[in-house]
Amino acid sequence: MRTAIVLFNLGGPDRPEAVEPFLRNLFSDPAILRVPGFLRSFLARTIARRRAPIARAVYDKLGGGSPLLPNTQAQARALEAALSDRGLDLGEVRCFVAMRYWNPFAEETVREVQRFAPDRIVMLPLYPQFSTTTTASSFDDWARAAAKAGLTVPMLTIRDYPTEPGFIAAVSRLTAERLPEARAAGSVKILFSAHGLPKKIVQAGDPYAEQVGSSVRAIAERLGLSLDDYEVCFQSRVGPLEWIGPYTDEEIVRAAEARQSILLVPVAFVSEHSETLVELDIEYRHLAEKHGAPGYVRVPTVGTAPEFIAGLADLVRRAIGTERPAVLPSR
């Protein structure tokens, strides 16, 4: 018995010249730019061209490219090790990585999976909270690539896991470890930050914001936090549309001007990348300091934290236990 586990993530440009085509792929996705196809193609090229210099400046701070792929590959190796250590009768297990907007694309990963010749495939998104813009988009992309390649192996789908115990335990531990440093500077406001979404997407039924709230409530309960101790907020908004709030940058200003020390916790990202290493660590830190925050501490993403990886292994085990091919979500 051979089991292929496919880890899904957004991907990121690996070199400066990849930034514009990465952005073009991003804005060409109908889950991201929800306009008619003929218009989307034109807008994707236009937006990518205009935003590329700004994005390149961001990636320059990271050495020219995103660390998301190597970080995801490390999670894949850790998950393989965790599954082999559990003594489960899974046969040979191998993890693969499929990125949505840059290499390795789903088509490439499908070919790798075919060469492995698995008896079953477990589809595991590295988005704990489900969204049509991330999870569903990645699954749809995989379904197209699999159909094109004639991949007919049974596929078991893990849809989401916003309150999975291992994930919650990892975020909670990492938060608790950084809390004394934040408290040393004064009264603390904990900001749980997640990537934002345009409000119209949430109003159309996307469960992402609700699931982010579920994650935060589970973490707060584990840490014994009161409602006054923390705020759920959303970062990385772009464009003219109204996005879900409250906005992370505005909450940082509010806490800083109240002379509160800020503990910033990424609650939807599970790997370090530009939005944690640049937006949170550099831009938002500067914003906090500019407005007088006595302290600013950022909690790392869960990465390969043992609790998180063990939680992913449990998700895989439960998915295999059902042995029922799941229906892929569609928009």
Q: Which residues are annotated as a binding site for Fe(2+)?
A: 195, 275
Please give the sequence-ordered ranges of beta strands (E in DSSP) within 105-187, or none if there are none. 120-125, 155-157
**Cα(84)–Cα(258) distance, rounded to whole angstroms?**
50
Beta bridge partners of 135: none
The residue among 156, 141, 144, 50 whose CA lies nearest residue 102 is: 141
Beta strands in 49-179 (DSSP E): 92-99, 120-125, 155-157
Residue 240: is the preceding peptide bond cis (ω within 30°)? no
The answer to whether 84 and 93 have CB atoms below 8 angstroms apart is yes
Q: Phi and psi (nearest 5°) for 289? A: -65, -40
Q: How far is 182 from 52, CA to CA, in rounded Å?
A: 35
Binding residues: 195, 275
Find the distance separating the first CA and the last CA of the chain, reported in whole Å: 33
Residue 290 main-chain phi, psi, to 5 deg: -60, -35
